[in-house]
Structure 1
């Protein structure tokens, strides 16, 4: 994950829902939304078959989500609780025992939907951080909690025991943390209210910044680690205001760094590892306001300039030609001291981001600049040419970015743009035919494309393939390995899906279970097929859980009305293999045929409920020899076909009496070659198909036009 000073990690909530309905008097339905859930539609025929959407209650607000770009994802709710999804092989979901989780090909469990991290009672988190197979939460009282892998003591609880629920980090008495961070090598960091910094876990190459620490235990690789926090030895008088993975920004705008110094990452002019902090050699007078870390390190200065140091094998320092730089053992150049990124004259950066081997800067005018490695068009300038100085990302005309991430930009209107690799649908822009492909055969876009957020969704924050919407919902797209999208599946998504906040486990209408429960991942709602029921208004009871924890049931009084006069849709599907059409009022049958590959041709016409005055039955017969069905309202035709060996499949649906108000004729056509009958309310279709050689057999019955 890109380490960004000042990153605020916000809110996620998970709700699981079940709906039940009982009978009631014939009154107007109550507003389901008034009970927290909403149903749509709230009226249907007594024959059942209506598809009802169950939408979660309003007021569930998210503020942000954080990921490690790998297998774990955390978010913080407005009430201070934390939710997690993804891999759980070391207990990093923090939700205790979770029997029944699916497992990957290695046998490791994961959760494709958010579960609630089991923070101690009364603990309200204000920040959450993802580390190496571990999670960290900062509490409102300044304490720190951790869970997951503890292989190098990175949970800071005095042990190396993995924890599936949070434990309190053993900060010294009286220390109140105001920010936390997780190191990339099994360590944790906390910034205290007095400006001091504490670290725990792996001390590989001095990574704890606490100087000589004799007597520390060692890992199986011989590397020392600390089971409890130690104080980072900042120079006397230095007060840190922000921390990020072995870097501390001081109140005077200077930057200090410690630990491994590969590629000169500490910025002190050397490649010597440092067990205590050294001052980064920013030019005199430069006051840093943000630092981000990766293969190269970037610092944003108060005047809008950007400085870089570290590896420069693909021009990622953004400073143009830098002859004479030292080289590593592979021959790759690096700078052990900061150099100024050569942004165009007049450009003032307000945010800087580090990618793999590239950098990105957001300018005060909303434009975006990029430099470094341009494989798969990562720089968004329309090419795949590496750039040693910044180039402007080709955002569409008029688009003004307000936040950036590596290869993504959030626009002022709440839209999101992405560019670069489209592996597993990572651009979130749906089908993009004609994209160029990498040497591995993966498509990419060298210019920004718009992420296809659902209509009406306005993003307010972005992070590594996640978008937080203005209504507090979270959307995700791309690879869904280990359920990273949080939509309850492991299916990759080329367009955003809503992180699953509602899981419906059952629906009853008047005590009768519904059927065909399904989840719409783009809208974050469930749908269920209404069963048949007598006319009248029924209650809806919702059994639900919050983040995997069961909650008290909620009853929605008078939430659904069965109407004996409501039209009943008759669906039409087409089998492209056999060329046959099929008609049914049973939504379960309709969906099953679609699942088998039949083509959806929508509603052919509408019938009526059996209880409607004057309703006429339409019979269905099946020919086992050629697979054809026949539908007729003439009982004599039905009986004759049954005698000839056709299978009697009873009443298919009911239609209104001839000439009923608002009804239209339904025509019947016969194909003499296949033996198939087709039904339509479209007189033009009837004429055209007849002209093509089908027998026009007149009006089969009357029906209502499709809705």
Structure 2
């Protein structure tokens, strides 16, 4: 039975067999069908719509009004895995009216692999990826593309703690908290995620955690810190510890941070590098061994792209993809062929580098072509070259050129290939490699058979990973709750965070 309706522009229409028909279309194309059903019921229905004659008031209709186009908003939107975005289909009609279409719309996805769409026009993210959503009314359609992003924008593992920034800008933390490094205002360890305090109720953008302290940047570009401050690593111009976030200076142009064992580094919007905290090995790069209590400008370069703080050394990459190292070098972790500490950023070779990660006393770096290289301490096989000999210059890890991400823990390494498989090597005394054993591994070993890993983090003796479906997995040492799964039992294989 046909039913009467009115669209957002005030045009009358009938719904027949799930199709939305405007009155002029009915009179021109479907009249024979209605004649066979009886003309009188049709006239009665038209009267109910306000389009027929007889009794009461009536609303005049505009003849020959047709839907010409559809625009779907918001356009080119982003939704997090597990999140939902409600869409609006807006129609433009032949009489010039523009209005939201509230009925008779069919919503579809181009692939449907990474998201799902509902009949009310809402889209829910399922996997990290991209898709296109289309709204259709009759033969008229409108589309927009969208991106499904991770539910976490930042995932980091520190000494014995783990932190993650959610897509909504809130930050959660779990694990060791003896120096207030979780930022929840207490000194109590947590084996389930707790909210980091948010003094100004502003979204967090990125977080980095060292052995006992944490740094974070808000969406407004301000820099914050909490935890141990013995060497001034919080940058607050004192050595007082903080159990809740405190703002560092007044600058609002910070874009990148890295927290090491006892020192901190940050890059501002202008590409300028700053360092503060412990500097006994020259890890700040200011040509001294003096600790700094506030962010101190390092050198004169204005094109730093990324930086990573290890235990006593630092590695950075400039915009031209050149790699520089400085600080402690007793194990060859600077990669310059020697074992002497360096107090200033010094270029390493002529290769083009994509990313770098500084660990306890070893370094991992991926070249722009996708090959993985390592140097420094290798007592537990953390360099991945199937030996236990330190290397003072970069050595390639295997021969593959499909590395997407590699991170250095204290004495172990974890990486992800471009096919989204997970690999680990090095020390495994607490199960931090995730292969189900406690045996050290001298070369990259695939962890499980899953091929949906997206990001990974390595702490002192634990590791964490993020999968494409948005789930978090942790493994290794858990005595202080650093796996966040509600227990304090270590895990030898990746275990999902509830």
Q: If the length of structure 2 is used for normalisation, what is the TM-score?
A: 0.57
1:319 is matched with 336
1:244 is matched with 258
- 1:334 to 2:330 alignment: no
Which of these residues, 225, 236, 248, is aligned with residue 241 of structure 2?
Answer: 225
- TM-fit CA distance, 1:487: 11
- TM-fit CA distance, 1:385: 2.4
- 1:196 to 2:196 alignment: no
Does the C-alpha gap of structure 1 residues 12 and 294 become closer, same or farther in structure 2, counting only changes over 3 Å?
Answer: farther
Query: Is 1:428–1:451's contact at 8 Å kept on the other side of the alignment?
Result: yes
Does the C-alpha gap of structure 1 residues 425 and 254 become closer, same or farther in structure 2, counting only changes over 3 Å?
Answer: same
SS in 2 for 1:210: coil
Does the C-alpha gap of structure 1 residues 279 and 483 become closer, same or farther in structure 2, counting only changes over 3 Å?
Answer: closer
1:461 is matched with 455
- TM-fit CA distance, 1:266: 1.4
- TM-fit CA distance, 1:307: 1.0
Answer 1 or 2: higher relative contact order, Cα 8 Å, separation at least 6: 1
CA distance in 2, matches of 1:250, 1:126: 19
1:78-477 correspondence runs (5 A): 127=154, 138=165, 152=179, 166=194, 169=197, 171=199, 173=200, 177-185=204-212, 187-211=213-237, 224-226=240-242, 229-233=245-249, 239-245=253-259, 246-281=264-299, 285=301, 287-295=303-311, 296-321=313-338, 333-342=340-349, 345=350, 347-395=351-399, 400-406=402-408, 407-423=413-429, 444-453=440-449, 457-464=451-458, 465-472=463-470
CA distance in 1, matches of 2:184, 2:475: 36
Q: If the length of structure 1 is used for normalisation, what is the TM-score?
A: 0.41
Does the C-alpha gap of structure 1 residues 262 and 479 become closer, same or farther in structure 2, counting only changes over 3 Å?
Answer: same
CA distance in 1, matches of 2:254, 2:240: 26
Does the C-alpha gap of structure 1 residues 429 and 371 become closer, same or farther in structure 2, counting only changes over 3 Å?
Answer: same
Larger gyration radius, structure 1 or structure 2: 1
- How many residue pairs get aligned? The number is 345
What runs of 5+ residues in structure 1 fail to find an aligned partner? 1-9, 14-58, 64-76, 81-124, 213-222, 323-332, 432-441, 502-546, 548-707
- TM-fit CA distance, 1:300: 1.4
- TM-fit CA distance, 1:161: 7.6
Question: Which whole-Å deviations, capped at 9, do the CAs of 1:327-379 have from their partners, x for residues lacking one?
Answer: xxxxxx4222112223xx5x311110122211111112111111111223322
Question: Which whole-Å deviations, capped at 9, do the CAs of 1:479-508 have from their partners, x for residues lacking one?
Answer: 676795969995864xx55x358xxxxxxx
SS in 1 for 2:325: strand
1:330 is matched with none
CA distance in 2, matches of 1:404, 1:391: 15
Does the C-alpha gap of structure 1 residues 275 and 422 become closer, same or farther in structure 2, counting only changes over 3 Å?
Answer: closer
What runs of 5+ residues in structure 2 fail to find an aligned partner? 1-79, 84-123, 129-147
Does the C-alpha gap of structure 1 residues 374 and 142 become closer, same or farther in structure 2, counting only changes over 3 Å?
Answer: closer
Query: Is 1:483–1:490's contact at 8 Å kept on the other side of the alignment?
Result: no
- TM-fit CA distance, 1:267: 1.1
- TM-fit CA distance, 1:256: 0.5
SS in 2 for 1:321: coil
Query: Is 1:238–1:251's contact at 8 Å kept on the other side of the alignment?
Result: no
Question: Which whole-Å deviations, capped at 9, do the CAs of 1:195-221 have from their partners, x for residues lacking one?
Answer: 331334443232331225xxxxxxxxx
Does the C-alpha gap of structure 1 residues 193 and 461 become closer, same or farther in structure 2, counting only changes over 3 Å?
Answer: closer
Does the C-alpha gap of structure 1 residues 303 and 192 become closer, same or farther in structure 2, counting only changes over 3 Å?
Answer: same
